[in-house]
């Protein structure tokens, strides 16, 4: 079961990286509200990625991070991501 978890994490970070690069491209090529919304969305993606890293079982079982950090960060990133996706 361990290899499936690593493949899942790898795919998650790969997809997040692709999304981050797409929003970076939009940020560089546009201006105004679209640029601002893409920046807000990139911030939400960065926080979501850090929450996914903090959710690893090793970090929680070793006591490096508290188990309630990652749900709070996921909720914060979802809020920021949704705010960045609002209608222009």
Confidence (pLDDT) at 27? 93
Mean pLDDT computed over 18-32: 93
Confidence (pLDDT) at 88? 60
Mean pLDDT computed over 11-37: 91
Nearest to 54 by CA among 38, 77, 20: 77
| DSSP for 18-79, written as a single string | HHHHHHHHHHHH--THHHHHHHHHHHHHHHHHHHHHHT-HHHHHTTSS-TTHHHHHHHHHHH
Confidence (pLDDT) at 1? 59
Tokens 């939009």 belong to residue: 26
User: Buried (b) or exposed (e) across 1-40, using 16+ Cβ within 10 A?
Assistant: eeeeeeeeeeeeeeeeeeebeebeebbeeeeeeeeebbeb
pLDDT digit string, tens, across residues 38-83: 999 999 989 988 888 888 777 778 888 888 888 899 999 999 989 9
pLDDT digit string, tens, across residues 5-23: 788 878 888 988 899 999 9
């Amino acid at each position: 079961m361990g290899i499936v978890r690593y493949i899942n994490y790898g795919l998650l970070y790969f997809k997040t990286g692709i999304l981050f690069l797409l929003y970076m491209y939009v940020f560089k090529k546009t201006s105004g509200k679209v640029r601002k919304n893409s920046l807000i969305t990139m911030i939400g993606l960065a926080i979501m990625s850090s929450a996914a890293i903090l959710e690893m079982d090793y970090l929680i079982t070793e006591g490096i991070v508290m188990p309630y950090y990652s749900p709070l960060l996921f909720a914060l990133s979802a809020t920021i991501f949704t705010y960045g996706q609002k209608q222009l």
